[in-house]
């Protein structure tokens, strides 16, 4: 039984919107923060489309959706997160951005509020060092798309209070997610494998070995994956893959983690994946994955 009642999600992008859906769907009052009103509005539209699709598929009743949507609050004022029992950040994969966010929230939130980072590559200990409350910072790495995937990688920093980690773990279970414990190590479990793997795929395309559709078909058919790597990259966002690579390479110096030239060219061309309508594949509309 978790003591947490109110959840704040900082960042209304693809991942943040998905985490907010998970929290509200599980019965928590959910505050979504973003500095951009456009991002907040887009997340609202995508969230409503997602739940409308859930009704169409018979997974939820309309009255259930009304109750879930009533739990959402959206804001561009960081002070509105003061009532949160836990804040989950899902902002840019840059250490300084995450430290600055938690540092400002340290002066706003209750002394008992847990700060959780959705980082997939950056050290929890380093993020906590800029928070002003090292013992209450934990790693909670959700998987894309968060509203459909159950796995959460839970990571304590060097100074994380074990009691706070247990409290965050129990909250994760109350969300209906499946937590696994990892150490504060680069890439944790998934991205230790995934970042270099995705780069290898991009290099195959750049070398002309196979087209994105053929690579995805081979991986899904031959290995049983539900989503091909190019589909996944488009969902993650190719600009996000660049940030992941840069962060992962800084701490590992793994040559496979360096950004492939094709990836940088695609980002420069505005081909970011689903969110821009074009990446390795083309997309219509801005529907959230699974909607």
Give the per-residue SS3 of the chain. CCCCCEEEEECCCHHHHHHHHHHHHCCCEEEEECCCHHHHHHHHHHHHHHHHHHHHCCCCCHHHHHHHHHCEEEECCHHHHCCCCEEEECCCCCHHHHHHHHHHHHCCCCCCCEEEECCCCCCHHHHHHCCCCHHHEEEEEECCCCCCCCEEEEEECCCCCHHHHHHHHHHHHHCCCEEEECCCCCCCCHHHHHHHHHHHHHHHHHCCCCCHHHHHHHHHHHHCCCCCHHHHHHHHCHHHHHHHHHHHHHHHCCHHHCCCHHHHHHHHCCCCEHHHCECCCECCCCCCCCC
Using one digit for the tens of pLDDT, what is the confidence trace for 75-112? 999 999 999 999 999 998 889 999 999 999 999 999 99
Q: Given this model, what pLDDT does residue 1 score?
A: 72
Q: Given this model, what pLDDT does residue 163 score?
A: 97
Using one digit for the tens of pLDDT, what is the confidence trace for 3-56? 999 999 999 998 999 999 999 999 999 999 999 999 999 999 999 999 999 999
**Residue listed under structure tokens 């539209």:** 45
Q: Is the pLDDT of residue 258 over 90?
A: yes
Band of residue 123 on the pLDDT scale cut at 50, 70, 90: very high
Report how far residue 261's alpha carbon sits from residue 264's, in angstroms, rounded to the nearest whole number.
5
CATH of the domain at 263: 1.10.1040.10
Residue 207 inside a domain? The answer is yes
Residue 282 inside a domain? The answer is no
Angle at 41 between CA 138 and CA 149, to 5 degrees: 45
239 and 138 together in one domain:
no
Which tokens go with 184? 């504060």
Residue 20 inside a domain? The answer is yes
176 and 206 together in one domain:
no
Residue 186 inside a domain? The answer is no
**Residue 135 burial by Cβ neighbours in a 10 Å radius (0-12, 13-18, 19+):** middle
Which of 181, 203, 227 corresponds to the end of one domain? 181
Residue 291 inside a domain? The answer is no
Task: Tell me, yes or no, if the pTM score tops 0.85.
Answer: yes
Q: Which of 230 and 291 is assigned the larger pLDDT?
A: 230
3-class DSSP assignment, residue 190: helix
Supply the residues annotated as catalytic. 120, 141, 153, 191
84 touches 7 (CB < 8 A): yes
Which of 181, 200, 222 corresponds to the end of one domain? 181
Q: Is the pLDDT of residue 117 over 90?
A: yes
- Cα torsion at 80, 81, 83, 89 (round to 10°)? 170
137 and 225 together in one domain:
no
223 and 177 together in one domain:
no
Q: Given this model, what pLDDT does residue 68 score?
A: 97
Domain around 198 = 191-276
Band of residue 247 on the pLDDT scale cut at 50, 70, 90: confident
Residue 245 inside a domain? The answer is yes
89 touches 101 (CB < 8 A): yes
Q: Is the pLDDT of residue 286 over 90?
A: no
What number is the average pLDDT over the span 199-216? 98
Residue 22 inside a domain? The answer is yes
Residue 284 inside a domain? The answer is no
Q: The dihedral of CA 63, 72, 144, 151: what is its sign? A: negative
144 and 197 together in one domain:
no
Which tokens go with 82? 């003061």
Q: Given this model, what pLDDT does residue 19 score?
A: 98
21 and 136 together in one domain:
yes
Q: Given this model, what pLDDT does residue 281 score?
A: 97
């Amino acid at each position: 039984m978790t003591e947490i009642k109110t959840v704040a999600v900082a960042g209304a992008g693809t991942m943040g919107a998905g985490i907010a859906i998970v929290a509200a769907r599980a019965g928590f009052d959910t505050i979504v923060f973003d500095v951009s009103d456009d991002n907040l509005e887009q997340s609202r539209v995508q969230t409503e489309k997602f739940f409308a699709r859930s009704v169409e598929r018979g997974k939820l009743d309309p009255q259930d959706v009304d109750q879930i949507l009533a739990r959402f609050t959206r804001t561009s004022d960081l002070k509105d997160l003061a009532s949160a029992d836990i804040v989950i950040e899902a902002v840019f994969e840059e250490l300084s951005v995450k430290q600055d966010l938690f540092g400002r929230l340290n002066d706003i939130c209750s002394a008992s509020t847990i700060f959780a980072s959705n980082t997939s590559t950056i050290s929890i200990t380093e993020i906590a060092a800029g928070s002003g409350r090292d013992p209450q910072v934990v790693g909670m790495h959700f998987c894309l798309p968060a509203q459909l995937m159950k796995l959460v990688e839970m990571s304590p920093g060097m100074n994380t209070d074990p009691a706070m980690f247990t409290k965050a773990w129990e909250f994760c279970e109350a969300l209906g997610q499946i937590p696994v414990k990892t150490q504060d190590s680069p890439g944790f479990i998934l991205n230790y494998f995934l970042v270099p793997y995705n780069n290898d795929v991009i290099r195959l395309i750049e070398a002309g070995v196979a087209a994105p559709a053929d690579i995805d078909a081979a991986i899904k058919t031959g290995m049983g994956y539900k989503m091909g790597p190019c589909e996944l990259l488009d969902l993650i966002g190719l600009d996000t893959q660049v940030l992941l690579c840069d962060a992962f390479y800084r701490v590992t110096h793994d040559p496979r983690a360096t950004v492939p030239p094709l990836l940088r060219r695609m980002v420069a061309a505005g081909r970011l994946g689903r969110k821009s309508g074009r990446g390795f594949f083309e997309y219509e509309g801005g529907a959230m994955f699974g909607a």
